[in-house]
Chain A
Amino acid sequence: MNIGFVIGVFGILILAHATYSTIQYRSYLKILEEEFSSPPFNVVVELILGLVLCLWAALAVPGKFLSIHPDSEENRIVSLPANLDFMIFNHRGRALPTDVNMKLKC
């Protein structure tokens, strides 16, 4: 997350520099008295680079996607009951038949 943020700041700085060099190019054209047709090549390269870096930042910074399935690995609630200390299994119920469980399972 942190490195994505740094990359985004870097991309915005590249875009600012591209803006500045385009402004300079326009004033240069004004001196030469020519018409503006398209920005110079290095500005286009800078813009593409800035777009790619900002795309990376925009995908990395806001956080990960979470699964919406209720029975997926990360949404499952795994917790033990709080009264484990008070559970006793060594009682007369051990002698009883365990048909109850079998019935519940099917």
Chain B
Amino acid sequence: METTVGSVLRRRIMFFIITAFVAASVMSLFYMQIIHGGQFAVKSDENSIKAVPQVAPRGIFYDRYMRVMVGNRPSFSIQIIPAEYKNRKLDSLIEGVLNLPFGYIGNILRDTTQYSKFIPRKVKRDVDFKAIAWFEENQSKLPGVHYVMETLRDYSFGINGVHMFGYIKEISQEMLAKHKNEYTIGDNIGNNGLEKEYEQLVKGDKGMKLMLVDSRQKTIGRYKEGKDDKPTKKGDDLVLSIDRDVQKVAEEAFKDRRGAAVAIEPSTGEIISFVSAPEYDLNEFATVVSREDWDRLNKDEAKPLFNRATMSIFSPGSTFKMIAAIAALEEGVITTDTKFNCPGVFTYGNKQFKCEHVHGVMNVETAIEKSCNVFFYNLILKLGLDKWSEYAAKFGFGQKTAVDIGEEAKGILPSEQYYNKVYGKNGWTKGFLVSLGIGQGELSVTPIQLAKYTALLANYGQSADPHFLKGYIDKETGKFVPAQIHKIQLNISKRTFDIVRNAMFNVVNGAGTATSIRMSEIAIAGKTGTAQNPHGRPHSLFIAFAPYDNPKIAVAVMVENAGYGATTAAPIARDMIKAYLDKNSIDSQPKTDNSLAKVSH
């Protein structure tokens, strides 16, 4: 008897066992895959469980009093799964039922060939119920065509706010390439405004439903009674600082006008209202926007897609006079006793600069009140470009305001470097300054910059970067999470602010340029402006804050081609202030964080 380790016989037995098993498995694979492969292929095609992805509802947008501004509503979509959709003769039939242009389905399928053919392609959203009934009835004749319920944005709360809310849109192929793990084709993504800025918060988590289907792809029930399904999770709800009532008033005021208005709570930088006009109907964006609609919006000479509140730039006109005044007072260039005489015209070199009236002798307070140009021509020559530019920059001009929605223009704030760059070192003279003194010339600002500036004037240089988000309601915990804000504190004396603010009070309540909007119940302080503009009538400007003693709201209004600030812009500002403060006197305490959390459940 052999007892050595690993004898030849034992090796051969082992060899035999291994070879025999391998041969058996290859044989049975051959039998399954080659001989019976066809049968299994048929079985595989008619297999019985289908994973249906579920899109989560997006977070709701609430206003500062927890009233809904943008909600969700259920709707049906039709989608096609290319792996199951074999009969292309059905294209035209489906296009007919869904009212789609001829060849639409072919285009979609062709444009998405690089994605797995098992992922559904969305053909149409927000399909009406009659069409859904037709699909339901004919399901067995339409393999690969399915309808799914999903939620669409609901904009039926009386305000539009397109330029702040933005809209959601089916994800583009470029975006998809960048975020492959988070999105698949047919998913929605925030495309603009707050929807885009806070996409990560509001989008929610996708789910997955497992369905049992028969060989004709007809659903016969849930797989494991839904035990293995993955539920969707609705996105975080956003609590915005907008006041829906003020927003409504502002939108109404701009119905037949072009321009923008921004209202800010001075102490916090919270945006109370934000309008850019003309707008477009957000409901069009709830479903698929056709190419024609896009072209119409793009080519419209009123530019409804253009966000004027953050993107349009214009000369601030007389609304900018407080910059020169503050700089001169702070730097000791003038005092309240410094006086200039206004004969109705100012001569510099061989050029003449006009004033609206013959104002006579003016000091800084009366010059703001009456908006005397001659005073400021003199003042800026005394002050110099450097100081003026430095103070304008302190108030945020020439820079983005860092507001929490996408695109924003910087505007132009001239400085010595700027002029040297544009005209060459000796190519410009002090005469260039004269226009800047009254906010004209090569100076341009955006409405939101003006609003931020007004807030800083109102609150003695203390505010924060303008922002929409007060916080969000976390979907996991249901708790309110406040947003981070960036505070601003200007190092300018209270005395200087007192002088300028008092002058602004007299603009409305003294013998100033905006006495037409004076109200007995609310003390408004403001400043009119008229922005010269090469394309027609000047823009009408007005900045204001109220109440004078304890400002709760700061507003900047710009109405394109509407002439004097006092005539068009000032009444709009007054109505917005009134809408905000009237309510605040009744319901003046903003709700606490606790009550926010309660409302969300």
Does B bind A? no
